[in-house]
Structure 1
């Protein structure tokens, strides 16, 4: 996440990309998204076409959507090192053809030595910029443990087979894309923090690798090979945690007392999915420590009494209603969401239809609300306020896969900031996920916050991998996004686009984003139709409407009739690839 306070839209680049071989000198070019026929083929959509191709290769080999999603995650570790992969964590939501949903939590956790003052310096909380680089921000990575758990339950191909495309990309080389070049140039503080990262991605004069340059990462190829042959335990015991903790303990900035035992103790978890009804559709997502499902669903359900379809996507009133509903949902997110293993999160209460109807009653289509306060959902306890919007991230990636049997996976993977902590081990970047905790453990009144640092705890997340089932009970849409606190806003407006405005998933993803945390400021996407609506939004009472550059990266697969159709954010380099 790019920690620019209350600036959720940092510049992302470029358009949807087509597939290219790993060893070509040219970066991905702009192209058309592929689609696949339901029941005959599967499809994968990811933020890089080479990762989509890796997943599609698993489908062609007879693999499941879970196999394809894992192969995609591994390939993204190589070709999108700034955003996701084995050095971080994520959430995976899987749905079978009969609508049964399973969710997996691979969120990173804090080491045993962590405490509420983990990010203190000279008796005061560090700033975000101080806290990111180096060892103290690194959480124990969960990606491999979660992948292994999901694979044991829903995989078909051998574990080793899933690593093939990523190993080839790392060993044979991959071309630097315009986006990777851009972030290398913009974020040398983390991209070039470590000598290993500098040697991989920067020239001797310190400039970033040019677009089209071939990057080979033999250290990562070797380690992926080790993981493929020895199994997931090789990430959590042996040379990898030893090397990682030495790097964390001896980091030039913010060294931290993480140990190999912290790695060995990590467990991925199967969590209870959170599902609710919206206009006859069933919306399912990831519960705590993610705030994704509750925030997406609350915003949608609070809007259900309004005829968004009649208003249409070009109506300032429609976007005003979305912003107002977001403000209410984000206020509850900030008050109540955290790691449910440590704090009592009223997840069911936050999705309770009666409670959300009471929140919806506060929304006026003719004018904005004044001060927004959290509500009191059933089961709520008095937890302290935590700012939901100060940590917009760019170090995240979302991808989706559907197999020929009709099973679907929606998977968000992250290392938090661009290039995470900047520390590189065995060719991959370690996350800075612990900065998703509140750096100050108490509020202004001295009350402990729900999202404070604690040993073994997982920080609150905005990731929102989502499955949408139609009134007929069949999967209609698998979707998710990257972009920090804006992730729920991206996902919910795309769902509105598909359900209320009858758009294709591709057009719904391409809709502009309005992001309205609980304060007075509303952010709209610069250069979009929403920017032209600023006067109308101000006339409805919004005190501050600010246009920001976009930082969006959504991917989806939808069912239309008897076909699966892939979608990727036109602001990104993503693409869908059919089996």
Structure 2
């Protein structure tokens, strides 16, 4: 064990952020949110109660990444029957959205930054309806109790952290035309308020009290809905329509979990409109014929194999994944063991495939590839309770500060820019094009792993835009193949793709493998690949939590 620990420490010289408990465990990207979740567990709340309290607290303290102005996905393991349930709280395009939403008058596509800012990018938020559904099924505490930590943070104020300050500095030019957000976080000279400055948000506290009293309708109807609609309609840039009728019509959806077996474990995640569950099941299936355990994390061939599986899975993702209410997504075909074996046969342990093309899974229709411009933001959190229930949630407003708009004290998402801007190619429709009432494709990958005994053993997720899938994937390989505790698996180096090249995390053992990976045929580019993985693991009869050492996150025991 000591040799293995030293191996992992050499991969990434960062402190592990972990905790151990026999009762319950939470993990979140901000300590104040994690504390809100622990508070619920200590009062007898369920894992879901803890997760929802963390979501609300993150709305206050991590405004750059997530909150009730956006949407998310939830994956839940029920200890009573071993069932895995997923809830889709993804944002939807308003009724006024059309396939040409992000095209200029001459038919050319808008620039991404031009499209993000203002009302055009805002989708109908889904997180509060997700909360309502999850709490109704698995909550133990009163709905109003979940809101108290967030209300206190909004009333009393929270201190700006280094991560928030860094993001404010990066975004100060982009945000200069948005007075509401500047009034919150910048001084009269236009400089970000310093680290440690206390930010109060009485407007958000008022909204949270209203929703705590009136339930989800208190968010989607009445004065909160009218103010949200007005913020979109009067945006300083790209004013658009998102009506109270759009808000009232929104519903969270239960989706079938996407599950696959891997070396005796059962790995479950979100189905479409998320690509995360499918891509992870595909990649693990492609890798199962290789002995990753024997290779280990210090062998370049391990990372070569992971990157080849990644290239194939992302080619399928970009071609086939979209909202299943609008596009017949071939989920069964994409995770069919025979199809995955065909894809795996394209991978060689000692050379790179020339080009990773999408496959033709059973049930696939005629669609065209068109990328979407996801931004590496978002947040993820996990909780396990004393009864053995486990939940993973990934929540987002998309890019940093979303659309740059605020309503009722929270930040509105720019989720519609996750759609493909071009509606058709070569005479065929693009699966992920904009349509009224449609949910954009996502990389969010909340994941639960059940052991061979059927008991839940791991819940995790990450931030990182399109990289989310790979941050979760490498953590799963670290735990399931290399036997690492989850905090050490999170600290493994990150890897992603860029066209025909692979990106490896700067300053890690992966960058040191650059020559060996190049010899296998890869084009290797070192890059900053920050992540925010948060996880809860059941190990040796107790909960263990892990938080990404690249983030400000923590895991806290009940």
User: Which TM-score band (shorter chain)?
Assistant: over 0.9
Give 1:300-319 correspondences, 5 Å limit.
Answer: 300-319=284-303
1:388-411 Cα offsets, whole Å, 9 max, x none, are 6x43321x0000011111101100
Answer yes or no: is 1:563 the counterpart of 2:542: yes
State the SS of the aligned residue for 1:558. strand
Answer yes or no: is 1:260 the counterpart of 2:241: no
1:36-56 Cα offsets, whole Å, 9 max, x none, are 11xxx1111000010000011
TM-score normalized by structure 1?
Answer: 0.92
2:555 maps to 576
Tell whether the 8 Å contact from 2:26 to 2:384 is kept in structure 1 after alignment.
Answer: yes
1:209-268 Cα offsets, whole Å, 9 max, x none, are 111111111111111111101111011111112111111111121111221111111111
Deviation at 1:523, TM superposition (A): 0.8
Answer yes or no: is 1:551 the counterpart of 2:530: yes
1:467 maps to 448
1:535 maps to 515
Deviation at 1:144, TM superposition (A): 0.2
The one of 74, 78, 91 equivalent to 1:96 is 78
1:110 maps to 93
TM-score normalized by structure 2?
Answer: 0.96
State the SS of the aligned residue for 2:429. coil
Deviation at 1:189, TM superposition (A): 4.6
Answer yes or no: is 1:497 the counterpart of 2:478: yes
Give 1:115-514 correspondences, 5 Å limit.
Answer: 115-123=98-106, 124-189=108-173, 191=175, 193-387=177-371, 390-394=373-377, 396-443=378-425, 445-514=426-495
State the SS of the aligned residue for 2:93. coil
Give 1:43-82 correspondences, 5 Å limit.
Answer: 43-82=25-64
1:439-472 Cα offsets, whole Å, 9 max, x none, are 11122x2321000000000000000000011112
| Separation in 2, partners of 1:425, 1:257 | 14
Deviation at 1:15, TM superposition (A): 7.2
| Separation in 2, partners of 1:106, 1:136 | 20
Q: Could you list the structure 1 runs, at least 4 aligned residues long, displaced by more than 6 angstroms after superposition.
A: none
State the SS of the aligned residue for 1:369. coil
CA RMSD of aligned residues (A): 1.3
Deviation at 1:190, TM superposition (A): 5.2
State the SS of the aligned residue for 1:333. helix
Tell whether the 8 Å contact from 1:15 to 1:569 is kept in structure 2 after alignment.
Answer: no
1:276-331 Cα offsets, whole Å, 9 max, x none, are 10000000000000000001111111000000010010011110000001001111
State the SS of the aligned residue for 1:105. strand
Deviation at 1:193, TM superposition (A): 4.5
| Separation in 1, partners of 2:186, 2:253 | 38
State the SS of the aligned residue for 1:410. strand
Moved more, 120-129 or 139-148: 120-129
The one of 474, 481, 501 equivalent to 1:521 is 501
| Separation in 1, partners of 2:374, 2:413 | 15
State the SS of the aligned residue for 1:241. helix
Unaligned runs of 5+ in 2: 1-12
Tell whether the 8 Å contact from 2:375 to 2:398 is kept in structure 1 after alignment.
Answer: no
State the SS of the aligned residue for 1:125. coil
State the SS of the aligned residue for 1:523. strand
| Separation in 2, partners of 1:371, 1:34 | 43
1:5 maps to none
1:17-45 Cα offsets, whole Å, 9 max, x none, are xxxxxxxxxxxxxx9533211xxx11110
Tell whether the 8 Å contact from 2:374 to 2:398 is kept in structure 1 after alignment.
Answer: no
| Separation in 2, partners of 1:188, 1:259 | 29
2:9 maps to none
State the SS of the aligned residue for 1:235. helix
| Separation in 1, partners of 2:62, 2:174 | 14
Q: CA 1:553/1:192 → structure 2, altered by over 3 Å: closer, same or farther?
A: farther
State the SS of the aligned residue for 1:409. strand
Tell whether the 8 Å contact from 1:15 to 1:574 is kept in structure 2 after alignment.
Answer: no
Moved more, 44-53 or 376-385: 376-385
Deviation at 1:194, TM superposition (A): 2.6
| Separation in 2, partners of 1:313, 1:235 | 47
| Separation in 1, partners of 2:239, 2:174 | 15
Tell whether the 8 Å contact from 1:65 to 1:403 is kept in structure 2 after alignment.
Answer: yes
Deviation at 1:191, TM superposition (A): 4.9
State the SS of the aligned residue for 2:533. strand
Tell whether the 8 Å contact from 2:17 to 2:549 is kept in structure 1 after alignment.
Answer: no
Deviation at 1:480, TM superposition (A): 0.6
State the SS of the aligned residue for 2:64. coil
Aligned residues, how many?
544
Q: CA 1:87/1:192 → structure 2, altered by over 3 Å: closer, same or farther?
A: farther
State the SS of the aligned residue for 2:357. coil
Tell whether the 8 Å contact from 1:75 to 1:169 is kept in structure 2 after alignment.
Answer: yes
